[in-house]
Copies of this chain bind each other. A is one copy, B any other.
Amino acid sequence: MEESKMASKIAVLGLGSMGFGMARSMTRAGLDVSGYDVAPAAVERFVAEGGHGAGSPGEAVKGADIVVSVVVSGAQTEAVLFGPDGVAGAMKPGAVLVSSATMDPSIARDLAKRIESLGLHYLDAPISGGAAKAATGELTIMASGPPQAFAAARPALDCMAAKVYELGEAAGIGAAFKMINQLLAGVHIAAACEAIAFAAKQGLDLDKVYEVITASAGNSWMFQNRIPHVLAGDYTPLSAVEIFVKDLGIVQDMARAERYPVPLVAAALQMYLAASGAGMGRDDDSTLARLYAQLSGAQLPGKDKP
């Protein structure tokens, strides 16, 4: 049993900050991992770290028992599977597709149906935890799928995640959980930035605000995680504004389709859009604090300070 796990052949499609860390976690655990990315430099980096580089998605998935797709969106996942040079038809019979991009649950349900019709398994497996947890193999995976899909994916899941939530048998459940998390995370970042720049506008000691709020009922995981970037005046992107332009956009589209009102998501999305439109799209999402400061004359720490 242990031997058959070690013999698993894995393909990782997408070697960005998340996919690279996930692929590395598996090679480090002794799995045979072939990685592909549209950016040749990303493939070279993976090869330098001991992985196998693939020249095409098709080459990566050839003979793989587990294919982990870590592209940016549902549309990209569909393209990599069913577009020109799509790999779905080239996957080994009985292999499992571990689909980790954040997407509308309806897309996950559609992809699962099409993958399963080819005699393959589909695991709806969005990820949470950021690049740091990806690198250490300590992601949280919010997964749903039939037991066979979980069983087939297990060797990869064990290497990539500290915690795998098994949320149900139907595709789309994992995706829906991820979107609930993104709804909250996206609103909380915007609220944290609205609050800290408002504190700055009033001339409060921002380090003290951080100390008090993180010990009070106003705290959130995101306030605690992101506001140190604002206090340091360092907007190097750990997670960029464009991620939440995308993810709150998905939430808003889902909610509109379901006739569900999301006034907080809508307000937050407008701030991410404004930041992106103002040229901050590739900055760390905590740059929303700078946007609030620019709109109000508040003074934040960092190089914008007089």
Contact = CB atoms under 8 A, between A and B. Distances in A.
Interface of A: 105, 128-130, 140, 142, 163, 165, 167-168, 173, 176-177, 180-185, 187-188, 190-192, 194-195, 197-199, 201-202, 204-205, 208-209, 211-213, 215-223, 225, 251, 255, 258-268, 270-271, 292, 295-298
Contacts of A260: 197-198, 201, 292, 295-296, 298
Contacts of A267: 263-264, 266-267
A261 B205 CA distance: 20
A130 B197 CA distance: 26
Contacts of A195: 180, 183-184
Contact of A191 (B184, B218, B221): B184
Contacts of A201: 258, 260
A268 B264 CA distance: 6
Nearest to A170: B203
B219 A165 contact: no
B194 A263 contact: yes
Contacts of A205: 167-168
A219 B177 contact: no
B182 A142 contact: no
A266 B267 CA distance: 9
Contacts of A208: 165, 167, 177
Nearest to A199: B180
Nearest to A214: B221
Contact of A198 (B129, B140, B255): B255
A182 to B, nearest CB: 7
